[in-house]
């Protein structure tokens, strides 16, 4: 009985940590800065983000993280992304990050590949269905 109780407690702790991981962005900035930001939605994507080597070109790949960084007021930790050597004020960094996300070219990520695969599968299935029903 004692073992079952301990197992239940461990399971509850692990479940709690899992829910916390789904609800938070842990962003590692240059230096020793680790910024913990609540997510807009619970999702596994971008739970841990290592942004130490990011430039403004990398910002477009993580628009939800950048949006949450700006909204939470933690933009001052990411001044190194400006690339000009000056870290700038928090407002300058936030404005630059928002502009980089707004003016970024559309990303071609795994979703585009999956959409193309889904369209190809649909076309194949339609062709087979037509062949069978002739």
Entry pTM: 0.63
Tokens 């001052």 — which residue? 76
> CA–CA separation, 83 vs 100, rounded Å?
13
Domain count, the chain: 2
Same domain, residue pair 51 and 114: no
As a residue count, the chain comes to: 134
Provide the phi-psi class of 46: left if phi over 0, else alpha when psi is between -120 and 50, else beta: left
Same domain, residue pair 9 and 23: yes
| Mean predicted lDDT score pLDDT of the chain | 82
Question: Is residue 5 over pLDDT 60?
Answer: yes
In 10 A of CB 72, how many CB atoms? 13
Same domain, residue pair 61 and 125: no
> CA–CA separation, 107 vs 33, rounded Å?
28
Question: Is residue 113 over pLDDT 70?
Answer: no
Provide the phi-psi class of 51: left if phi over 0, else alpha when psi is between -120 and 50, else beta: alpha
Same domain, residue pair 130 and 87: no
Q: Which residues contact 73 (CB under 8 A, 6 or more apart)?
A: 90
Question: In which band, very low, low, confident or very high, does the pLDDT at 9 lie, cut at 50, 70 and 90?
Answer: very high
Q: State which residues form the domain around 127.
A: 109-134
The pLDDT value given to residue 129: 84
């Amino acid at each position: 009985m004692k073992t079952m109780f301990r197992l239940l407690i461990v399971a509850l702790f692990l479940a709690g940590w899992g829910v916390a991981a789904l609800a938070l962005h842990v962003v590692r900035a240059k230096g020793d800065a680790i910024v913990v930001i609540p997510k807009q939605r619970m999702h596994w994507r971008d739970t841990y983000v290592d942004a130490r080597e990011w430039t403004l070109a990398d910002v477009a790949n993580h628009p939800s993280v950048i949006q949450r960084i700006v909204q939470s007021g933690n933009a001052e930790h990411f001044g190194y992304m400006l690339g000009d050597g000056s870290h700038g004020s928090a407002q300058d960094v936030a404005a630059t990050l928002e502009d980089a996300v707004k003016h970024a070219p559309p990303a071609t990520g795994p979703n585009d590949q999956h959409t193309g695969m889904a369209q190809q599968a649909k076309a194949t299935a339609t062709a087979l269905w037509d062949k069978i029903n002739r």
